[in-house]
Amino acid sequence: MSDRWCRAAAAVAAGALPCLAFPAPALWWFAYVALVPWMLLLRSAPTGRRAALEGWLGGAGFIVAVHHWLLPSLHVFLVPLAALLGLLWIPWALLVRELLSGAPAAGRATAALVLVPAGWLLSELARSWQGLGGPWGLLGASQWQVPPALRLASAGGVWLVSLLVVAVNCALVLLIAVPGARAPAVAGVTGCAVLTGVVWLWTPRPEVSGSLRVALVQPGMVAEGPASAERRFATGERLTRDLAGQRADLVVWGESSVGEDLTARPDLAARLAALSAQVGAPLLVNVDAHRSDRPGIYKSAVLVGPQGLTGDRYDKMRLVPFGEYIPARALLGWATSVGKAAGEDRMRGAAPVVMDLPGGVRVGPLVCFESAFPDMSRRLAREGAALLVAQSATSSFQDSWAPAQHASLAALRAAETGRPVVHATLTGISEVHGPSGERIGPALPTSASTAQVYQVPLARGATVYVRFGDWPVGAALAALAAYCSVQGARSPVLRRPAPEPSAPPARTARG
């Protein structure tokens, strides 16, 4: 096999390595070294074109690795999707080669410690657009169980954590491959440690201000078939009855826990109202059905009290590509014939909703995939939500890494907003995280069919991230813009060549 093919295969494998830092393996410490092989390969690329190719291949390998559990749904379509998204890593690859190749002096090495993480963040930001699949597998999300990293998230969101992780990887590349740049490399690692320490010591912590008893109802796997929605409803109904006398303040069911529009099925609404009266708490259920008041299928968080529907309803706004709708269905509709893609597009909601519970506590619902978007939970916190609830269903990927990775996002959203997050699923993993991202009580595994009450601490105040938003993204883009400006100023300016001075007229000989 030629050297070019060996390097191509190595790029794909190196790009896939970071997936081990995410759940289910959850080797969080591996994230700080996972990019080193890929970056060493890129810095040794003989040409910029080769670096771009290896950046593309590594990016595609990363996408396949962190989304491999989608294979049952997308089948071979995952490969062209990964090839498309892999293009987003080409600018980062060119930056790595430009700043780390050869023997960079102290100035170039120092610039690399800023610009290489900024370039990685640019790739993450671009693929976080919902139309390209959303922010699943952001590198900073691998640190969901590390308290210092969660403190960084409270200051700058998952973006700040990603920047720090890539900066450490970059410093390790300098230490390994560029002996003359060890001083900037050590300074870079020290700077990351100092930043983490400053945030840990000086960033305000959420101030606990009471608690709420929240019950999660997880019915578990239900046999598929024409009556599966009714069987799931009946299981949830039975488990909810067992909560009577446990003094719950709110009962949460998972995504798609109700398969009929409750306005069109008053009998189901009456059953839920009776449950609410029996338990002594409102029920937050999730309806996946055609609506009776408008065309199309909606996934909606619906609050039901002892008197019936309260009128509080949130329609899911950000849908899963291919899972809940097919982009450009006229062109890509064939995906339904090779996988479990959506046979009919779901409809989007118009705006976020904050619901009021008895006693004055306000709840911000999210539906499944939406818990991956930092801006959505931040907006709910700014609009007064004291508790964030993510209703999810991952039964299609029950035996994969998806349930654990999805549940881990609750810790990040809690740390970013300073608000507790409840992650309630149909089939696991369900869990609760407090306002600093800490896990509250035991998680409900994928094997469980049960209902569990959690004493959830509430908090007041606003985190730095809630106040100032995605400022690390702005800082990274500003650094990249400054670099491009400097490089542009140093490049020779193309001008129209000035006309050459005409030669003096030749003297004629005189006789």
Same domain, 165 and 249: no
Q: Are residues 158 and 171 in the same domain?
A: yes
Q: Which of 252, 170, 177, 263 is nearest to 215 (CA)?
A: 252
Tokens 């780390």 belong to residue: 100
Domain extent, residue 26, equals 3-204+467-489
pLDDT 10s digits, 416-470: 999 999 999 999 899 999 999 999 999 999 999 999 999 999 999 999 999 999 9
In a domain, 329, yes or no: no
**Other C-beta atoms lying within 10 Å of the C-beta of residue 145:** 15
pLDDT on residue 508: 44
Banded pLDDT at 509 (limits 50, 70, 90): very low
Positive/negative CA dihedral, 234, 235, 241, 246: negative
CB 473 within 8 A of CB 162: no
pTM passes above 0.75: yes
| CA-atom Rg of the chain in angstroms | 27
- Band (333; pLDDT cuts 50, 70, 90): low
Cα–Cα dist 433/423, whole Å: 8
Q: Is residue 135 located within the same domain as residue 147? A: yes
* DSSP code per residue over 232-245: HHHHHHHHHHTTTT
Contact in structure between 421 and 215 (CB atoms under 8 Å): no
Please tell me whether residues 154 and 253 are part of one structural domain: no
Q: Provide the greatest CA pair distance for the chain.
A: 130
The answer to whether residues 184 and 303 belong to one domain is: no
Q: Could you tell me the pLDDT band of residue 511, with boundaries at 50, 70 and 90?
A: very low
**Which CATH number belongs to the domain containing residue 235 in this structure?**
3.60.110.10
Please give the pLDDT value at position 342: 61
Q: Rounded distance, CA 393 to CA 387, Å?
A: 20
Report yes or no on 228 lying in a domain: yes
DSSP string, 387-433: EEEEEE--GGGTTSSHHHHHHHHHHHHHHHHTS-EEEEESSS-EEEE
Q: Are residues 124 and 217 in the same domain?
A: no
Instruction: Give domain status of residue 49, yes or no.
Output: yes
> Rounded to an integer, what distance in angstroms lies between the CA atom of residue 230 and that of residue 236?
10
Look at the block and give the residue holding tokens 């050590």: 186
Say which range, 26-30, 66-70, 490-494, has the weakest mean pLDDT.
490-494
Residues 75 and 147 in one domain: yes
- Residue 343 confidence class, pLDDT cut points 50, 70, 90: low
325 located within any domain = no
81 and 215 assigned to the same domain: no
Is the pLDDT confidence value at 204 over 90?
A: no
Q: Which of 462, 480, 499 is the last residue of a domain?
A: 462
Residue 176 and residue 82 share a domain: yes
* Whether 116 and 234 share a structural domain: no
Closest CA to 288 of 356, 357, 232, 224: 232
pLDDT at 396: 78
In a domain, 504, yes or no: no
Instruction: Tell me, yes or no, whether 285 lies in a domain.
Output: yes
Compute the mean pLDDT over every residue in the chain, rounded to the nearest whole number.
90
- Same domain for 458 and 479, yes or no, is no
Domains of the chain: total:
2
**Chain-centre distance of CA 337, in angstroms?**
28
Closest CA to 251 of 237, 264, 263: 237
Backbone angles phi, psi at 327, to 5 degrees: -60, 135
Are 110 and 198 contained in the same domain? yes
Residue 428 belongs to some domain of the structure: yes
Residue 17 has pLDDT above 50, yes or no: yes
Q: Which tens digits make up the pLDDT trace of 44-67? A: 999 999 999 999 999 999 999 999
Residue 339 neighbours by CB under 8 Å, 6+ apart: 72, 73, 74, 75, 77, 322
497 CB neighbour count, 10 Å cutoff: 6
Spatial distance between the Cα atoms of 36 and 14, rounded to a whole number of angstroms: 8
